[in-house]
Amino acid sequence: MLKRWEEQSMLKPRIVKVVVNISVGKSGDHLENAYNVLKDLTNQRPIKKEAKKTIRDFGIRKGEPIACIVTLRKEKATEFLKKVLPVVENKISAASFDMHGNFAFGIKEHIEIAGVKYDPDVGIFGMDICVSLGRLGYRVRKRRNRKAKIGTKHVLTPEEAMKFTEKVLEVEIVKNGRK
């Protein structure tokens, strides 16, 4: 597989984007603190996401901002992953990978990230990190003009995504509780 990637550069996987999400569940100061934490961690301005429907039991109204999200691409994405993966001890479960080679993991406390200090005024936030992997040429299925399907030989498999993640991000893939 690695030899094939070297021979044909179009087949080599790459990190398309990293999406970081902090869901607070309510608006106000708590959401503003999460917004500032995400802004400091990523050096990029987050977007506030609104509730899609009203849930009275939780006190959430439709249209109320309840989360903040940021999308990182290219070098920023790789740098952020290298900073965040040691928090999960550079281990990702094989079950975290989907059928298209993307994977996701969570962090319970943002203060575990290297260089982040605890501030009692801000609090502690958990976050979800979703990593999208792809190959060169994947744009043809998402572009506006002349959309086209991607051939079955060019689709990224979960096994290839795991191999790429192990090699590039130096992450250990844990399968069913074992290495």
Digits of tens for pLDDT over the chain (179 positions)? 778 887 888 888 999 999 999 988 888 888 999 999 999 999 999 999 988 988 888 888 888 888 999 999 999 999 999 999 999 999 999 999 999 889 999 999 888 888 888 888 888 899 999 999 998 888 888 888 998 888 888 888 899 999 999 988 889 988 875 55
CATH classification code of 2-174 = 3.30.1440.10
Report pLDDT for 119: 84
Count Cα atoms within 13 angstroms, Cβ side, for 45: 0
Report pLDDT for 133: 93
Report pLDDT for 27: 81
Quick check: 63 and 50 in contact, CB under 8 A?
Answer: yes
Strand 14-23 with 47-50, pairing? unpaired
Report pLDDT for 179: 54
Residues with Cβ within 8 Å of residue 122, at least 6 apart in sequence: 33, 36, 37
Strand 47-50 with 91-93, pairing? unpaired
Look at residue 134 and give its three-state secondary structure: strand
Residues with Cβ within 8 Å of residue 28, at least 6 apart in sequence: none
pLDDT in tens, 3-25: 888 788 888 899 999 999 998 88
Count Cα atoms within 13 angstroms, Cβ side, for 115: 9
Report pLDDT for 121: 87
Quick check: 118 and 124 in contact, CB under 8 A?
Answer: yes
- Residue boundaries of the structural domains of the chain: 2-174
Q: Which helix (H) or strand (E) holds 49?
A: strand 47-50
Report pLDDT for 101: 85
pTM, to two decimals: 0.87
Report pLDDT for 100: 87
